[in-house]
Amino acid sequence: MELSMAYPLLRAKPFSSFLIVVSLIASFGQLKSWPDALPQELLTLDIAEKIFPDSNATTLASTDFGNLTQARPAAVLYPSSSHDIAALVRFSYSSSRPFPISPRGHGHSIWGQAFAPEGIVVEMAALGHGGAGRINVTPAYVDAGGEQLWIDVLHATLEHGLAPRSWTDYLYLTVGGTLSNAGISGQVFRHGPQIANVYELDVITGKGEAMTCSKNSNSDLFHAVLGGLGQFGIITRARIALQPAPKMARWVRLMYTDVGLFTRDQERVISRDPDKLFALNYLEGSLLVDNSLIGSWRSSSFFSRADIDRISGLAARSGIRALYCLEGAVYYNEATKADMDQGLRLLLEELNFVPGFAFMQDISYLHFLDRVHDGELKLRSAGMWDVPHPWLNIFLPKSRILDFDLGVFKGILKNNKAMGPVLIYPMNKTKWDDEMSAVIPDEEVFYTVGLLRSALEGDLDYLESQNNEILRFCDQEGIVVKQYLPHYTTRGDWMKHFGPKWNKFLKMKMKYDPKALLSPGQKIFTFLEKNRLYG
């Protein structure tokens, strides 16, 4: 789901990435001009040879996964170490002509959140040449560079029989990128988001200070950065909690025609105490409207063609437009398989899915966690990956999920033909740390709804209009939602988003990035406000 944020240039194999960097460095001497937006004094720094204002570099840093907007930076920094990043930020902070700076991970932002118009984008993949050299595994935790992909962290920890506890659905995202948002997936109800599973961070603040922080040391910075949308510092290392890794996963999908039964069963699953009762390790869910998702399942290895035909027939026989799919997984090893079989059987007997519409598959733990990548490869081969992605991700309180279903799923989206999943699943507020910057609804159980749709055949305007209609509906009906991977353009909207956290958020900004240099693409603090903040 995370859907969450940021680097296509160096996403290739480490050696290929290294060659790209070397090629760029070699071309530095051929540059004929220095951008007016940047001070000439930058050329006197030791890092000057790693700053590239040529169009090859800046073009790559001017787009992202969303393909919804563009903004060209003045130059791109390819750092060899975190010291290079600190030197750049210190220079901007002390300069009479400060300029904005934004770290770029995998370029997976939607609305240009990693852009730095007329400033410098830091290509984080250049650290360690984008490989696994900056991943250090211990029995209790893994230290990973902020530029590292979660898939590389997974491979490195599995070599030691260990793995992080909380994930995103898509693993080709950077550690620093997801921790700057929250990092959510089907494990959140048990282990909290990724930001709740971090012990320590190395951060470069908006003053260019390199600081180590944790709950016990520089705790205000630690809590601010986690979920802080890149506003207080650039994450260069994260210490992430580990647990023993299972070998296998039993992947389960259950079909529902009644949203009330669907949501009650989801809430039943996340309420089970795993220390007392058998419980799932992963829970998500999805909406199927007019066979929009069923069609994409036809190329899936999970369902047989006969299964797909039966599911399609279920909707037709029921005379409904919407089906709901509860998706779960249980992790196990050979020694625990018998107990897992029995526990899952008893749990399924408690649930109220349509009889005969439970589908299961046993796959490796690695394959389960990396399941979305298979879909990416198929979309890339069909030329359907690099298209606009007008995604909308929101959190909404449990008390209004049925109202949302009636007005949105059965109303605004009743004729949805767009490609891409619509996710819906609950989380427990107790698994989130309210000291952190991430914002969630004020109810003990809340739902995430992710409309992860792709714009094909000229339907971008329609999908964006539909997203706005959904937000207007929530506002008119008094459904207080919080955007995840938020996109706002005015100070008032950001203040409303953060609510009671806004004053603290502003205070931390003034303390750690008082000139608003970092991550201007979020549009929380307008950079050209005489380079200072206002309340």
How far, in Å, CA of 483 to CA of 111, rounded?
A: 13
Residue intervals of the chain classified under CATH 3.30.43.10 are 14-128
- At residue 316, the pLDDT reads 80
- In 14-112, beta strands by DSSP E: 51-52, 75-77, 101-104
Evaluate whether 130 touches 16 at the Cβ level (below 8 Å): no
State pLDDT tens for residues 17-32: 443 444 444 444 444 4
**Which contacts qualify for 309-315: CB closer than 8 Å, 24 or more apart?**
310/357, 311/255, 311/357, 314/255, 314/257, 314/354, 314/357, 315/257, 315/288, 315/291
- At residue 301, the pLDDT reads 77
Residue 170 neighbours by CB under 8 Å, 6+ apart:
1, 2, 3, 108, 372, 373, 376
Q: Does 223 participate in catalysis according to the annotation?
A: no
Residue 349 neighbours by CB under 8 Å, 6+ apart:
none
- At residue 470, the pLDDT reads 98
How far, in Å, CA of 130 to CA of 7, rounded?
A: 10
For the domain covering 130-244, report its CATH number: 3.30.465.10
Mean pLDDT of the chain: 90
Classify domain 248-484 at the CATH topology level. Vanillyl-alcohol Oxidase; Chain A, domain 3 (3.40.462)
Residue intervals of the chain classified under CATH 3.40.462.10 are 248-484
Evaluate whether 119 touches 58 at the Cβ level (below 8 Å): no
State pLDDT tens for residues 434-472: 999 999 999 999 999 999 999 988 899 999 999 999 999
How far, in Å, CA of 463 to CA of 455, rounded?
A: 7
Is residue 1 very low, low, confident or very high in pLDDT (cuts 50, 70, 90)?
very low
Q: Which residue has the tokens 């955007």?
A: 483
Q: How many residues does the chain have?
A: 535
Q: Which residue has the tokens 């094909």?
A: 456
Residue type, 430: T
Extract the tokens encoding 380.
């890339």
State pLDDT tens for residues 244-260: 999 999 999 999 999 99
- At residue 292, the pLDDT reads 58
Q: Does 191 participate in catalysis according to the annotation?
A: no
- The phi and psi torsions of 161 (rounded to 5 degrees) equal 70, 25
- At residue 295, the pLDDT reads 58
Which among 106, 108, 129, 487 is annotated as catalytic? 108
Report, as an integer, the average pLDDT of 331-360: 97
Residue 348 has pLDDT above 60, yes or no: yes
pTM for the complete prediction? 0.92
How far, in Å, CA of 198 to CA of 125, rounded?
A: 21
- At residue 18, the pLDDT reads 40
Indicate the DSSP class of residue 354.
P
Q: Is 162 helix (H, G, I), strand (E, B) or coil?
A: strand
Report, as an integer, the average pLDDT of 219-241: 98
Report, as an integer, the average pLDDT of 376-394: 93
Residue 473 has pLDDT above 60, yes or no: yes
Residue 368 neighbours by CB under 8 Å, 6+ apart:
249, 251, 282, 329
Is residue 291 very low, low, confident or very high in pLDDT (cuts 50, 70, 90)?
low
Helix (H) or strand (E) holding 461: helix 460-476
Report, as an integer, the average pLDDT of 168-173: 98
* Helix orientation angle between 491-498 and 502-512, rounded to the nearest 10 degrees: 110
- The phi and psi torsions of 108 (rounded to 5 degrees) equal -95, 15
State pLDDT tens for residues 111-160: 999 999 999 999 999 996 645 569 999 999 999 999 999 999 999 999 99
- At residue 421, the pLDDT reads 92
Residue 287 has pLDDT above 70, yes or no: yes
Residue intervals of the chain classified under CATH 3.30.465.10 are 130-244
Which among 2, 84, 147, 169 is annotated as catalytic? 169
Which among 118, 147, 284, 327 is annotated as catalytic? 284
β-partners of residue 203 are 211, 235
For the domain covering 14-128, report its CATH number: 3.30.43.10
- At residue 2, the pLDDT reads 39
- At residue 529, the pLDDT reads 54
Report, as an integer, the average pLDDT of 379-408: 95
Extract the tokens encoding 361.
């598959």
Neighbours of 393 (CB within 10 A): 23
Q: Does 108 participate in catalysis according to the annotation?
A: yes
* Residue of 143, 138, 152, 97 whose CA lies nearest to 120: 97
